[in-house]
């Protein structure tokens, strides 16, 4: 008989009737002879209401007191669910995070799990009880007994971590939708259910705004090979399986913080094409990449930096054999792109850089752990290597550098991340391809698996940052010290000389809740380091497509940009990695952008998903 961890979200336990129906479902599984650990969230919108309550007393409540307050929500639901089970004649016991011994870091409101004491749970299971555990919460250490929480949506992470620690047969996440859909059905009514998805793709979707799973839950499932499924609380349908590759063995100590990087990769066969000063209007990226797609040229990274005045810079990388053709397309299209902007005529230019290399670290949870990218950049800085382009995703951080620096970059990164040099594959072999191959029947045939929208991001820009090694290291180092994660990061291609020093603008996105703190700490640093002004724009939306099968498929980016162009939506920033393409647009355009892109990739279907309130 199996040991199963089930997790029920807020809506699923949002009323007495729903708690009773969850209890009946649990009973059926218990009656079939399985051992059950059940993780629950706070009822309905309880956590939101507690947050509101706190803010009606203080604009900046202390993080410790927030944890004290928010952790009460789950304490209510575990007790009620245990009572409901007992009413049905099923022995059950509720336990808080403290009682279990879910030991976390001491970072209030965003703690990562260090380890889970399983003895108490195992004892109760042996005695035939269903163990009902409060999700989302832990304890800083068994001596200090400080209550911590894992971050909003963190009950998923509690459940998967428990499944890993207990060696459960599988972990089921029960929620208010039938499983993982191609996008949020509350925003796009014709989103379709997927029967399975790779954990790399899900990690990316979750991190880019699909809140159906907490990204860290997927990270743990991937790292420990937990069988994970997302299902509806209201039906017996199978839901969506999240597929993990066979994991490397790892300790259950430092569960969420150990070894974030499991590979270093290098691709030395790359070249960069940049178009400077293209007009800032809808349709430009679509025109450029549409032409590149028509030539069947495969583009690797694409970035478009923030607009300055009324022009943008767009840069992309290609493999050297197709450089000539890509360059020809860019050169042919540049005058066309300039045509509507007579004042810009002389300024626009195409720059080509041969002999560049893309060096990457691969793993899981890179965005969620800001210290990882910071260490990569600091390592390159110490080696005196300048970073020309950066691409970040949850599963990979890549830096474009001078090809002449390749060997030194690899040596330094292998040492910093304790990776054996023998394992380095000299030609890029994306780590996620192995996973894709396991999923031949799905991912590799459908390049774009899902579309996500994040309306809770802000864009920061730092002007006039001197163009020398160490900039990204400093920036990320400062933010990592404050546990602020950066997603999209772009340095302008244009170099401006200020007081004799070549400078670039740097733009990046962070969660809105972190924007003010990021601006404050960076403004302080800017004054010391002679960077320019730090500006924030919170009225943005980030829309992203995700799919492990995008690699080596020309035309995907063009299709996304074309969908936005047709809607006359202007793209403010573009950032890509092998597994995703993200565009920043005005916040008011977010849902329209999501809907258009979802339709453009043929993801919309005829089945309507019912979403409860
Ligand atoms: P729970 O309380 O069960 O944890 P959440 O509200 O955290 O539920 O997550 C479920 C919600 O996630 C759904 O109701 C849906 O609106 C939203 N969602 C966003 N993106 C997706 C997606 N790709 N697939 C399914 N649901 C999604
Ligand atoms: N109750 C917490 C929240 O609303 C945790 C969770 O539901 O996953 O964020
Ligand atoms: Mg949730």
Domain of 270, CATH number, reads 3.30.2130.10
279 and 234 in a single domain? The answer is no
Among the listed residues 1, 12, 439, 24, the one whose alpha carbon sits nearest the alpha carbon of residue 241: 439
Boundary residue ending a domain (208, 243, 278): 243
Q: 354, exposed or middle or buried, with CB in 10 Å at 0-12, 13-18, 19+?
A: exposed
Pairing of strands 196-198, 240-243: parallel
Ligand nearest to C-alpha 211: 1
Boundary residue ending a domain (183, 210, 243): 243
> What is the C-alpha separation between 198 and 556, in angstroms, rounded?
19
Confirm if 52 and 19 have CB atoms less than 8 A apart. no
3-class secondary-structure state, position 345: coil
Sign, CA dihedral 54-59-64-70, equals positive
238 and 273 in a single domain? The answer is no
Q: Consecutive sets of 10 residues in the chain, 613 residues long: mean pLDDT of each? A: 96 98 97 97 98 96 97 98 98 98 95 97 98 98 91 98 98 97 96 96 96 97 97 96 91 92 93 90 91 92 79 91 94 77 62 94 91 94 93 93 96 94 60 39 69 96 89 91 89 84 91 94 91 94 94 90 96 93 96 97 85 78
> What is the C-alpha separation between 541 and 103, in angstroms, rounded?
35
CB of 153 closer than 6 angstroms to any ligand 1 atom? yes
First-to-last alpha carbon distance for the chain, in angstroms, is 36
Confirm if 509 and 370 have CB atoms less than 8 A apart. no
Boundary residue ending a domain (214, 243, 272): 243
In a domain, 503, yes or no: yes
The per-residue b/e assignment along 385-417, b for 16 or more CB within 10 angstroms, e otherwise, is bbbbbbbbbbbbbbbbbebebbeebbebbbebb
pLDDT at residue number 414 = 96
User: In angstroms, what is the span from residue 42 Cα to ligand 3's centroid?
Assistant: 10
In a domain, 481, yes or no: yes
CB of 152 closer than 6 angstroms to any ligand 2 atom? yes
Q: What is the helix (H) or strand (E) element at residue 196, kind and residue range?
A: strand 196-198
User: In angstroms, what is the span from residue 155 Cα to ligand 3's centroid?
Assistant: 7
In a domain, 471, yes or no: yes
In a domain, 37, yes or no: yes
354 and 442 in a single domain? The answer is yes
Give residues with Cβ within 8 angstroms of 383, minimum separation 6.
405, 408, 409, 412
36 and 180 in a single domain? The answer is yes
Among the listed residues 363, 361, 362, 370, the one whose alpha carbon sits nearest the alpha carbon of residue 112: 370
20 and 126 in a single domain? The answer is yes
| Residue 426 DSSP class | S
Ligand nearest to C-alpha 109: 2
pLDDT at residue number 286 = 93
- Residue 586's φ and ψ, nearest 5 degrees, are -65, 145
168 and 307 in a single domain? The answer is no
User: In angstroms, what is the span from residue 541 Cα to ligand 1's centroid?
Assistant: 18
In a domain, 530, yes or no: yes
How many CB atoms neighbour CB 371 within 10 A?
A: 18
- Residue 308's φ and ψ, nearest 5 degrees, are -130, 125
In a domain, 55, yes or no: yes
CA distances from 4 to 7, 172, 215, 224, 303 (A): 10, 8, 21, 15, 44
114 and 50 in a single domain? The answer is yes
CB of 290 closer than 6 angstroms to any ligand 2 atom? no
> What is the C-alpha separation between 398 and 390, in angstroms, rounded?
6
pLDDT at residue number 612 = 79
> What is the C-alpha separation between 104 and 114, in angstroms, rounded?
5
Atom of ligand 1 lying closest to residue 450 CA: 23
184 and 292 in a single domain? The answer is no
CB of 42 closer than 6 angstroms to any ligand 2 atom? yes
CB of 149 closer than 6 angstroms to any ligand 2 atom? no
CA distances from 122 to 26, 36, 144, 198 (A): 18, 10, 24, 31
- The pick from 212, 214, 609 for probing ligand 1's pocket by mutation, whose C-beta has the most ligand atoms within 8 angstroms, reads 212
- Residue 14's φ and ψ, nearest 5 degrees, are -75, -10
Residue minimizing CA distance to atom 3 of ligand 1: 9
pTM above 0.85, yes or no: yes
CATH number at residue 89: 3.40.1160.10
3-class secondary-structure state, position 204: helix
Confirm if 96 and 137 have CB atoms less than 8 A apart. yes
The position carrying tokens 């939306």 is 541
Residue minimizing CA distance to atom 2 of ligand 1: 9
Ligand nearest to C-alpha 230: 1
- The pick from 6, 38, 40, 42 for probing ligand 2's pocket by mutation, whose C-beta has the most ligand atoms within 8 angstroms, reads 42
> What is the C-alpha separation between 84 and 601, in angstroms, rounded?
45
CB of 22 closer than 6 angstroms to any ligand 1 atom? no
- The pick from 211, 214, 234 for probing ligand 1's pocket by mutation, whose C-beta has the most ligand atoms within 8 angstroms, reads 211
523 and 376 in a single domain? The answer is yes
In a domain, 316, yes or no: yes
3-class secondary-structure state, position 38: strand
pLDDT at residue number 428 = 45
Atom of ligand 2 lying closest to residue 47 CA: 4
Q: 63, exposed or middle or buried, with CB in 10 Å at 0-12, 13-18, 19+?
A: middle
For 527, the domain range is: 263-600
> What is the C-alpha separation between 448 and 201, in angstroms, rounded?
10
3-class secondary-structure state, position 398: strand
100 and 158 in a single domain? The answer is yes
340 and 270 in a single domain? The answer is yes
357 and 501 in a single domain? The answer is yes
Strand partners, 276: 349
CB of 245 closer than 6 angstroms to any ligand 1 atom? no
Ligand nearest to C-alpha 77: 2
The radius of gyration computed from the CA coordinates of the chain, to the nearest angstrom, equals: 24
CB of 73 closer than 6 angstroms to any ligand 1 atom? no
In a domain, 257, yes or no: no
Among the listed residues 603, 587, 586, 611, the one whose alpha carbon sits nearest the alpha carbon of residue 545: 603
Count of structural domains, the chain: 2
The position carrying tokens 């309905």 is 44
Atom of ligand 2 lying closest to residue 48 CA: 4
Q: Which two tokens stand for residue 237?
A: 């349908």
> What is the C-alpha separation between 534 and 521, in angstroms, rounded?
10
CB of 157 closer than 6 angstroms to any ligand 1 atom? no
CB of 47 closer than 6 angstroms to any ligand 2 atom? yes
């Amino acid at each position: 008989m199996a040991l199963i961890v089930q997790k029920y979200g807020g809506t699923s336990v949002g009323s007495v009737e729903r708690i009773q129906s969850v209890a009946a479902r649990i009973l059926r599984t218990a009656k079939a002879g399985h051992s059950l650990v059940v993780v629950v969230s706070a009822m309905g919108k309880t956590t939101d209401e507690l947050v509101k309550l706190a803010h009606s007393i203080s604009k900046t409540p202390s993080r410790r007191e927030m944890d004290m307050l928010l952790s009460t929500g789950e304490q209510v639901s575990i007790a009620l669910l245990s009572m409901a089970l007992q009413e049905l004649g099923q022995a059950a016991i509720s336990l808080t995070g403290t009682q279990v011994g879910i030991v976390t870091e001491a970072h209030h409101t965003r703690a990562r799990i260090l380890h889970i004491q399983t003895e108490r749970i195992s004892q109760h299971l042996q005695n035939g009880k269903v163990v009902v555990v409060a999700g989302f919460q832990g304890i800083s250490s068994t001596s200090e007994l400080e209550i911590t929480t894992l971050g909003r949506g963190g009950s998923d992470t509690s459940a998967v971590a428990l499944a890993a620690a207990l060696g459960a047969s599988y972990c089921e996440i029960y929620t208010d939708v039938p499983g993982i859909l191609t996008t949020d059905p509350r925003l796009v009514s014709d989103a379709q259910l997927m029967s399975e998805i790779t954990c790399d793709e899900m990690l990316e979707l979750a991190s880019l705004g699909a809140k159906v799973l907490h990204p860290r839950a997927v990270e743990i499932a991937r790292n420990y090979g937990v069988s994970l499924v997302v299902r509806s609380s209201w039906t017996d349908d199978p839901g969506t399986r999240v597929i993990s590759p066979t994991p490397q063995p790892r300790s259950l100590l430092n569960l969420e913080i150990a070894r974030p990087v499991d590979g270093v990769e290098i691709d030395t066969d790359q070249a960069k094409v940049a178009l400077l000063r293209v007009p800032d209007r809808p349709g430009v990226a679509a025109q450029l990449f549409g032409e590149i797609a028509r030539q069947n040229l495969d583009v690797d990274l694409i970035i478009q930096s923030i607009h300055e005045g009324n022009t943008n810079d767009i840069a992309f990388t290609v493999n050297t054999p197709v450089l000539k053709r890509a360059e020809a397309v860019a050169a042919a299209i540049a005058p066309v792109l300039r045509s509507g902007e007579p004042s810009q005529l002389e300024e626009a230019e195409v720059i080509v850089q041969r002999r560049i290399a893309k060096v990457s670290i691969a793993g899981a949870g890179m965005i969620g752990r800001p210290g990882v990218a910071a260490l990569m950049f600091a390592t390159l800085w110490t080696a005196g290597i300048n970073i020309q382009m950066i691409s970040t995703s949850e599963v990979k951080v890549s830096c474009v550098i001078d090809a002449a620096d390749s060997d030194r970059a690899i040596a330094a990164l292998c040492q910093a991340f304790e990776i054996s040099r023998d394992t380095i594959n000299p030609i890029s072999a994306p780590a996620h391809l192995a996973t894709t191959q396991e999923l031949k029947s799905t991912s590799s045939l459908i390049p774009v698996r899902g579309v996500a929208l994040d309306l809770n991001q802000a864009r920061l820009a730092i002007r006039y940052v001197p163009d020398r090694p160490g900039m990204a290291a400093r920036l990320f180092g400062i933010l990592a010290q404050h546990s602020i994660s950066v997603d999209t990061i772009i340095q302008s291609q244009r170099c401006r000389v200020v007081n004799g020093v070549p400078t670039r603008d740097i733009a990046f996105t962070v969660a809105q809740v972190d924007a003010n703190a990021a601006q404050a700490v960076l403004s302080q640093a800017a004054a010391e380091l002679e960077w320019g002004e730090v500006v924030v724009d919170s009225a943005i939306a980030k829309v992203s497509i995700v799919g492990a099968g995008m690699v080596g498929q020309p035309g995907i980016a063009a299709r996304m940009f074309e969908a936005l162009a047709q809607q006359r939506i202007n793209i403010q920033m573009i950032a890509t990695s092998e597994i995703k393409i993200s565009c920043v647009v005005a916040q008011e355009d977010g849902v329209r952008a999501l809907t258009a892109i979802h339709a453009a990739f043929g993801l919309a279907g005829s089945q309507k998903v019912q979403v409860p309130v």
